[in-house]
Amino acid sequence: MSDKVKLALVGAGGMANSVHYPSLAVFDDVEIVGLCDLVPDKLQATAEKFKIEKTYSDYKTMIEETAPDGVYVLMPPHHLFDIAHHVLSNGINLFLEKPPGVTADQTRHLAHTAETNGCVSLVGFNRRYIPLMQQCKNMVLDHGGPVIQAMSSFYKWHAAGPYYNGAIDILSCDAVHAVDTLRYIGGDVAKVVGDVSNQGLHFGTRFNALVEFEGGGSGILMTNWRVGGRIHQFEMHGEGISAYVNPNTRAEVYVDGADKPKRITAQKAAGGSDENRVYYGFEGENRAFVDAIKTGQQPETCLPDAVKTMELVDRIYHNTL
């Protein structure tokens, strides 16, 4: 590999333009060698914005001509499998936005293909890369040992219909962030009981769960897509320490019964940056993918780990009250 990691990009949508490509653009050790999208206007605008010389409407041609070290596939979940499988089957490292497929079974197939072909992979569960989340988790573990109780919540007001006209359910597609973060805080799950409801609609909108972690702690998942607005908060509790985290703003950490908490802003935890892509973990996950390609070591949110998150989604559905 040369001094620079060569990356080819599939997808010129909103997330690509707002968080992923701006993150890659500031890395001195990255060269973007090609961009592919089926919408000419989006393709051209994104290429001009990030000074990408080679553009394509066919991802296979792009991969063949640019010989990248890694490929980004930033597509709707029901469109990504064939592209991701092609990338991995050709022995090329892969970055996928979440979710890494419509089902856990698709994710297992991709994980197997990555392992068979010796590929590094990263799924964009960016909450794990939020500096504030990382700092609070380390504080809890350093002071109180294993997490003994955790809470992961994600609420939204969703007035529209099912996601992508029903191609994927809300829990697998979007609320999966809360599912994955619960695993990030407490570890792998031994037992789970779920609470799933359509709330009078023809698609699921409420997904809650009580879990027991393999390490012995307990966790609560609380999500609902028919409430007042977007609220995304987490709790991490260890022996003698509790962290209450809103990754958009700040955390409050209480230690050994103190009346006043230690307050840490999301921006301060991110080195003072007020850019969302930095303090909300997007730059961190992109950095992790580039570093993984350079070292050959799987990052934290690799496809085999993402399988566990997608399987937990299935378990929430199958073990309901």
Residues of the chain with CATH 3.40.50.720: 5-126
Low-confidence ranges of the chain (pLDDT < 50): none
CA distance 122 to 104: 16
Q: Which fold has domain 127-275+300-318?
A: Dihydrodipicolinate Reductase; domain 2 (3.30.360)
Please give the span between the terminal C-alpha atoms of the chain, in angstroms, as a whole number: 52
Q: Are the C-beta atoms of residues 170 and 98 closer than 8 Å to each other? A: no
pLDDT at 176: 98
Predicted confidence at residue 144, as pLDDT, reads: 84
- Residue 143: burial class (beta carbons within 10 Å; 0-12, 13-18, 19+): middle
Pairing label, strands 218-224, 206-213 = antiparallel
The C-alpha atoms of residue 237 and residue 240 are separated, in whole angstroms, by 8
From the CB of residue 238, how many other CB atoms can be counted at a distance below 10 Å? 22
- pTM for the structure as a whole: 0.97
H-helix segments, the chain: 14-15, 21-25, 40-49, 59-66, 81-89, 104-116, 131-144, 170-173, 176-186, 266-269, 276-279, 282-295, 303-318
pLDDT tens readout for residues 131-143: 999 999 999 999 9
Q: State residue 175's pLDDT score.
A: 98
Q: Name residue 174's amino acid.
A: D
CATH 3.30.360.10 domain range(s) in the chain: 127-275+300-318
CATH superfamily for 5-126 is NAD(P)-binding Rossmann-like Domain (3.40.50.720)
Give the pLDDT of residue 2.
67
- Give yes or no for a contact between 259 and 163, defined as CB atoms under 8 angstroms apart: no
